[in-house]
Amino acid sequence: MSPDPASLLGLPVCHRELRLGTVSDVLLARWGEGVVAMVVSSAWGGASYVLPIGAATIHADRIDTSPFGLLSDGEAEYYRQRGRTLLHDRETRGRV
């Protein structure tokens, strides 16, 4: 079962005890509401990455992954082209 997309926003993304970043947006399947990936803002500022849902272990208070699960811009293009973002959906529906 897919997690509630809104519940993922703001969760820390960690590898063991190291915080890698925070979920800043959620990529949804183009049709339907399933989560395919999360946009992760780096804990060190500037960069953001895409974390595919299959590379994540979701807990109530955090998301665990390997740093190798975070995809950079070129690698993440696959997910961005095939999905839509939760925040964009909210803006276009007037819920922000």
- pLDDT reported for residue 96: 43
Torsion angle in degrees (nearest 10) through CA of 77, 33, 21, 72: -10
> What does the domain layout of the chain look like in residue ranges?
5-92
- pLDDT reported for residue 85: 83
Cβ proximity of 16 and 24 under 8 Å: no
Q: What is the pLDDT of residues 58-73, one digit of tens each?
A: 999 999 999 999 998 7
* 3-state helix, strand and coil shares in percent for the chain, rounded to the nearest 5: 30, 40, 35
Geometric angle at alpha carbon 83, from 77 and 87, rounded to 5°:
105
- pLDDT reported for residue 90: 67
- pLDDT reported for residue 60: 93
CATH code at 5-92:
2.30.30.240
Report, as ranges of residue numbers, the positions in the chain whose pLDDT lies below 50: 95-96
- pLDDT reported for residue 41: 93
